[in-house]
Structure 1
């Protein structure tokens, strides 16, 4: 077995980080009556309305899966379906005012957590962390089914 030069320890920390962030996200979303999947779809609508096909591609899931997610979000009053102005066959998924309020709340929560986690780091250390994480993600995406679509 090769000697551990720190790579295993680094992976252990990344894995612990993903578990802790996953638990925090699931708990905070559950308090709002949301799932991670529905919230991820809603988060993709920050830039504006999108077709269900584009959402499926962005999430790396089937159109049927997106239909179920959109159905749930629509039933919760967070999105609406509207006719596409240029394609009669397509429907646009749009955040409702309530959905937009939730997106704004999620963005505020993200900014708050970023401040809590990274507020004490110098710009140089923060830039280094982002650079290392970018490199790790670049290596990981091709190894994970659907990861290259991120």
Structure 2
């Protein structure tokens, strides 16, 4: 049986996960920790509240991630310059170097993957992937949004409550 389109997308997701696990093996970094480092790389020093919002996780989750990354020497907490009650989380010099290397590897992987697509097809593939990503994001967001409760109103599936 020929794999469905979604099967190929799931395979790609799995391959990315396995590659990331291989790349982080022995470093103490996890996908969630690297995501936080990536966010800090792009957002700059931030409060934990801001990081929780940017990473779409709970404040408790961010505290655990920051604690682990501080212990491993990837981030440090510093006093906020204008709010004495707040602290900023920022990358250490070692983490800044690690993130620069990751950005280089990210760009190289992008070029390697694009080289598998004929130049004449690249724009169409980019449009298609963008459309799939946008639609999947919409589906996930819609599924995560609670439906308004009203007696007898049709549900999103078309049946009645």
Q: With structure 2 as the length reference, what TM-score do the two structures score?
A: 0.79
Q: Distance in 2 between matches of 1:75 and 1:120?
A: 40
Max Rg structure:
2
Paired position in structure 2 for 1:3: none
Indicate whether 1:90 and 2:67 are aligned. Answer: no
How many aligned residue pairs are there? 142
Unaligned 5+ segments in structure 1 are 1-5
Paired position in structure 2 for 1:18: 13
- Structure 1 pair 77–146 and aligned structure 2 pair: CA distance change class (3 A): farther
Q: Distance in 2 between matches of 1:120 and 1:15?
A: 19
- Structure 1 pair 126–31 and aligned structure 2 pair: CA distance change class (3 A): farther
CA RMSD of aligned residues (A): 2.3
1:126 aligns with one of 122, 142, 153: 122
Unaligned 5+ segments in structure 2 are 145-161
After superposition, what is the alpha-carbon deviation per residue over 1:13-61, rounded to whole angstroms, capped at 9, x for unaligned? 1111111111111221124321000000000011211111111111111
Q: With structure 1 as the length reference, what TM-score do the two structures score?
A: 0.84
2:60 aligns with one of 48, 54, 64: 64
Higher helix share: 1
* Deviation of the 1:127 alpha carbon: 2.4
- Structure 2 contact 48–59 (Cα < 8 Å) conserved: yes
Runs of 4+ residues over 6 Å off in structure 1? none
